[in-house]
Amino acid sequence: MGDKTYGGEFMAGFLVGALAGAAAALLLAPQSGEQTRVLIREKGIELQHRADELGEEARKRAEEIQLQAKDRAEELQTKVKQAVEEGKAVAAEKQKEMLSELHEEQPAGETPA
């Protein structure tokens, strides 16, 4: 008894509602179709120009960031080279100290092993 389906009625109601909505949109539109197309075209051109501007700004900013990164890398490379040179100098000085201490500790005539 309760096997009634309302699928067909729902679909008919949906179609009637869609047609009524489309008709209302056409009747209440503030401008003609040609005016709407012109407006859409103008907005599309404006958006394209804005996208071009944003792309150019992004490219310039990327170049700036790239230059900053390069400068920073060169600065760090210089610091590392300087630290390595200082380390070599300290190691050479320490080596000299240790060799002189070793020579002082050995009795005359003996050679280090």
pLDDT digits (tens, 9 = 90+) for 21-69: 776 776 676 777 788 677 778 888 988 888 899 889 999 999 999 999 9
Q: Does residue 29 form part of some domain?
A: no
Q: Does residue 43 form part of some domain?
A: yes
Are 106 and 112 in contact, with CB atoms under 8 Å apart?
A: yes
Instruction: Classify the phi-psi angles of 109: left when phi > 0, otherwise alpha if psi is within -120 to 50, otherwise beta.
Output: left
Number of domains in the chain: 1
Average pLDDT rounded to a whole number, residues 69-90: 96
- So what's the pLDDT on residue 1? 46
Q: Does residue 46 form part of some domain?
A: yes
Six-digit token pair at 69?
A: 């990164």
Least confidently predicted of 32-41, 87-96, 98-107: 32-41
For residue 36, what are the contacts with CB-CB under 8 A and spacing of at least 6? 29
Rg of the chain in Å (alpha carbons) = 42
Q: What is the pTM of this model?
A: 0.47
Q: Half-sphere exposure of residue 50, counting CA atoms within 13 Å on the CB side?
A: 6
Quote the domain boundaries for residue 60.
35-105
Q: Does residue 60 form part of some domain?
A: yes
